[in-house]
Chains A and B, each alone.
Chain A
Amino acid sequence: MNPEGNLGSSLAGLTLLEIGDQMGEWAALLLAGLGAEVIKIEPRDGAPSRRIGPFASDAEDPEQSLFFWRYNLNKKSATLDVDKPEAHPVLAALASRADIVLLSGEFETVERRLSLWRQLAAENPRLIICTITPFGLDGPYRALKATDLVQMAMGGIMAVCGYDPDKEGVYDTPPIAPAMWHSYHLAGEYAAVALMAAINFRELTDEGQFIDLSVHEAVNTCTEVAIPSYVYAGQVVKRQTARHAAPSITHARLSTSSDGTLMLANLSPFEREQRALAQLADQVGIGHVLGTPEFEQLEKEDRVAAAIYRNDLLVEVVSSLPADEIFHRAQAQGLAWSPIRKPEQNLDDPHFAARGSFATINHPELGRDLRYPGTVAIDGQSPHFSYTRRAPRLGEHTEEVLRRAGLDDSQIASLKAKALV
């Protein structure tokens, strides 16, 4: 192996126990992609995320949730009723061999489970224990009920996402939470950052620690200028259709290509972008006055009118060609334009293929491979995150995990008889 190569096995040798719900799955998935062994401890009827669709089957089926598949690649699954006292010796045995424990879920559940982990941490001071809860383990909101939508609302992302107000400046559409569970994405990324810090810290000190992550705060970090605008200048940014929220409503608008695809096509205030637009207009044979003394005069006298002229020309240029053609032509002129694609339109894009952006995962039960978005970065040749195994079936690794924890056949049989695994 190239020692300077990808980081896909850089956490090999570290074991992470994941106990909880969808709040913790992303963090564990990211560490699994860097080589950590992730053991997912599920209740006997499966993790809650197995009930989130869409499903590969027509009917709801805990083995067919695409959500579960996406967020649990590379992981192992062992069933264990962690809330029964009889299960605690098993957890203790697992903890003695683990590096990281990730507990996620509602505050009451995590807080109740933590009492055991506080004891186990005393026995294994190298253990890193991370909780992910909606609001964190302390503070007046700690026990509030939340879902992804509620977190996106309270954390501030919804207030800056949505549609333009009507002509009177009144918002007649609700704020929008961008779809696909981003509050848990943010929480997972920050949990992974905190865990990587704790892992690095442990290498220096041989000490583990507790990490208390708040989904609410994770969402709060990610609203760009909203907080500085208010804190410094008292300005409250306003949401606007597919544009940055800003103190006032800007007048750029979406444009549509000749084949009906919406385009993200804007002009920044730089002179070179105006020249690029003029080039494009020339290429497609649309007459214009950009670059003429006449237009320079207009810019001097009426900046708004000049901006509207440029924008109208942009809309006309975009509407003259199919989306992909305008995309490549605009980019050739150095314009950062793009079609507004659906995610799946990238499955066959040669750029992502060339970069190995998709991991090919075999699903023996389906008798086929599926391609999953698999990495954010490459080392020049290969992806830095490495995903090779489909999400586990419920309890697929129970025996393996219990044996590794030192249990023998009769002990495993006894757990089964008591319906603990």
Chain B
Amino acid sequence: MEPAHGNGESRNKRPLEGVRILDLTWLQVGPQATRLLATFGAQVIRIEWRERKAIDFIRYTPPFAPDHASADGGRSQGVTRGHGVRGNYDRGAYFNNTNPGKYGITLNLNHPKGRDLLRRMAREANVICENFSPGQMDKWGLGYGDLRKINPGIIYIQTTGLGKAGVYKDYVSYGPTAQAFSGLTYLSGLPEPHPPAGWGYSYLDHSPGYFGAILLMAAIRRQRQSGAGCYIDMSQSATGLMLSGTSILQRQISGKPTVRYGNRKPFLDWSPHGAYRCAGEDNWIAISIQSDEQWRKLTEEMGSPDWALDNRFATAAGRKQNEDDLDERITAFTSGCDRYELMNRLQARGIPAGVVQKAPDRFDLDPQLKARGYYVDLPHTEIGTWPVEGFPAKLSRSPAKVGGPTGRAAPKLGEDNNFVYGQLVGLSAEEMAALAEEGVI
């Protein structure tokens, strides 16, 4: 046997090889989970339909690949970026970033033959994922109770804002709704009287996807061992609660309500602690002082001004007591500094400090992401090869491959109908043509 550890990638096996996933999810929260499963080798088949209201909104949400991008002309092939306006269903940038490594087919679930075909595919599948409104799959006769009669070992995951079971099971929710409801929105931002800053995106369209991948891989392992199926009713709001830290405990222990505290850490003697303005437009650096020793070094870096040597700031307790004043004085120092130069100077003294990086910083400048190969070039059949965001860990024997079994970025709408219906399902060319004619596939 060759040594298990070390740098060599296993030549044959992928962690989830042989696992077939019927993926009826759209937008973000479901596709994030299946993206990770494809990354580790599962055969993820995205199932969509051609009518606009049934097409993943992300497919036709800008930004789009530039109009001049083509099959052999993507950014990684030297084509310049640009603001695409053509925007058909196959040119969405964000869709491409969200759905690499997956197969794509079309299937009309409003057609009885479409539902029959899904049942036929469910017989051979390990997992089915959906994030329709609660109850939609049951209406089609495709709910967990229906599908397990066909395939007792099937794993069924449904992700909704509130959850399929419970008092608010019929309520509708997007990521921001779940964030507001669970408490995560409230927790983000400057203290009252400022309103919450909330999140600048749908955090709860992402984290539940990661949890979905964790649970699905636990369920797949159990299915491999015993053949048992599994039903997973995932709630984005409950995920928000899981991520709400110590607020709920504190309320039960001391009765104290949650308050916001900006970028500070009130429960540690870390101070100063915040984002400070640097030279240039909307440029900031995060500085996080954890000890008196680090404070002394920061003081030296600032040229030991008299104010910094004031007794008020000598201890963490003193600095915390005078934190507004402290922040103003530090800003007076940082606002003339180049942000990266200051980061390097502070880091050279062992002070935790980092630039508040915007997308261009992370994509063009960050040498760490480059060295670690974080962005992965993947080809797309219509818009060519573009960089896709990667997986944040290196695995020595079964490395993450965001291109999945397809080795591709996102599928075009129905791109893999012939492969899936022909080779995997076993339909003849005539059968496929007839089903296409009838508006089933």
How distant is B116 from chain A, measured CB to nearest CB, in Å?
25
Task: Evaluate whether A351 and B354 lie within 8 angstroms (CB atoms) in the complex, with A56-B253, A341-B183 already known.
Answer: no
How distant is A38 from chain B, measured CB to nearest CB, in Å?
15
How distant is B242 from chain A, measured CB to nearest CB, in Å?
5
How distant is A162 from chain B, measured CB to nearest CB, in Å?
5
* A234, B83: Cβ atoms closer than 8 Å: yes
Q: Which stretch (A78-86, A239-247, A302-310, A403-411) binds chain B?
A: A239-247
* B393, A372: Cβ atoms closer than 8 Å: no
Whole-angstrom CA separation of A160 from B197 in the bound complex: 10
* A343, B187: Cβ atoms closer than 8 Å: yes
Interface: B10 (CB within 8 A): yes
* Chain A positions 273-291 with a Cβ under 8 Å from a chain B Cβ: none
* Contacts beyond the supplied A210-B396, A335-B172: 4 A-B pairs with Cβ under 8 Å: A67-B245, A150-B354, A196-B218, A224-B202
Q: Give the residue name and chain of the A residue nearest to B252 (CB).
A: A370
Whole-angstrom CA separation of A198 from B371 in the bound complex: 24
* B241, A343: Cβ atoms closer than 8 Å: yes
Looking at the complex, which one of B166, B230, B262 makes contact with A7 (CB distance below 8 Å)? B230
* Chain B positions 354-381 with a Cβ under 8 Å from a chain A Cβ: 354-360, 362-363, 366-369, 371-372, 374
- A67: which B residues are within 8 A, CB to CB? 245-246, 267
- A232: which B residues are within 8 A, CB to CB? 63-66, 75, 81, 84, 93, 386
Interface: A355 (CB within 8 A): yes
Interface: B86 (CB within 8 A): no
Interface: A189 (CB within 8 A): yes
Q: Which stretch (A90-98, A313-321, A374-382, A412-420) binds chain B?
A: A374-382
Looking at the complex, which one of B228, B232, B275, B290 makes contact with A174 (CB distance below 8 Å)? B275
Interface: A295 (CB within 8 A): no
* Chain B positions 330-369 with a Cβ under 8 Å from a chain A Cβ: 347, 350-360, 362-363, 366-369
Encode A174-211 as 1/0 by CB contact (under 8 A) with B. Answer: 11111111100111011111101111110111111111
* B263, A177: Cβ atoms closer than 8 Å: yes
Count how many pairs of residues, one from A and one from B, have CB atoms less than 8 Å apart in the complex: 540
Can you list 21 contacts pairing A with B, beta carbon distance less than 8 Å? Answer: A53-B267, A67-B245, A141-B368, A146-B354, A149-B273, A162-B197, A173-B194, A189-B214, A201-B15, A204-B17, A205-B10, A210-B395, A211-B395, A214-B392, A217-B369, A220-B389, A228-B94, A229-B359, A233-B84, A341-B183, A384-B232
* B286, A153: Cβ atoms closer than 8 Å: yes
* B367, A235: Cβ atoms closer than 8 Å: no
- A113: which B residues are within 8 A, CB to CB? none
Whole-angstrom CA separation of A126 from B265 in the bound complex: 40
Encode A345-387 as 1/0 by CB contact (under 8 A) with B. Answer: 1110011101101000000000000111111111110001000
Interface: B120 (CB within 8 A): no
Interface: A401 (CB within 8 A): no
How distant is B376 from chain A, measured CB to nearest CB, in Å?
12
Interface: A258 (CB within 8 A): no
Q: Which stretch (B157-165, B314-322, B411-419, B423-431) binds chain A?
A: B157-165
Interface: A221 (CB within 8 A): yes
Whole-angstrom CA separation of A96 from B195 in the bound complex: 53
Whole-angstrom CA separation of A92 from B160 in the bound complex: 45
Interface: A251 (CB within 8 A): no
* B275, A175: Cβ atoms closer than 8 Å: yes
